Amino acid sequence: MTAFDLTPPDAAQRDALVAGLDDDERRVLLHHGTEAPFCGVFLDNKREGTYCCRLCGLPLFRSSTKFDSGTGWPSFFAPFDPAHVARIRDASHGMVRTEIVCARCGSHLGHVFPDGPPPTFERHCLNSVSLSFVGRGSVWPDPLRRGGAESTASD
């Protein structure tokens, strides 16, 4: 069980979080868009830490699970906690894929594919604009001001 509160933001909290997004972040996070390959700020990030949801701050992926997939988007073989990433069947664009969204706020993250490395053999392909990054030893983001696990230092 996750130590993080997965209760969705209420309407006022969501409005405040959305107000802080730029146009590209809105297009991807709220309208299920995709950023162009090989241009995201986290594609070549090699720092140790945790990638969190850009909208609500929920930890999503550890840097230790990041790998170079050659696809042009940051890729990870396992989530921070499986409860933090929800999967949705996506039949858009004439194919069936599995979309991944933040389990707390529903923001679009990217897609997951069954062609990753061991041990999961999954490739979680993320949009950089869907993420924020917390360096190892830094404090977790807490944009919803919930305290608890969100107020402790990251791993």
Strand, coil or helix: 151: helix
Residues serving a catalytic function are 125
Whether the Cβ atoms of residue 75 and residue 60 lie closer than 8 Å to each other: no
Distances (CA, A) of 88 to 13, 27, 46: 24, 18, 29
- Residue 55: partners with Cβ closer than 8 Å, 6 or more residues away: 17, 18, 21, 29, 102, 105, 107, 143
Question: What values do phi and psi take at 77, rounded to 5?
Answer: -95, -10
Tell me how many helices (H) and strands (E) the chain has.
2, 9
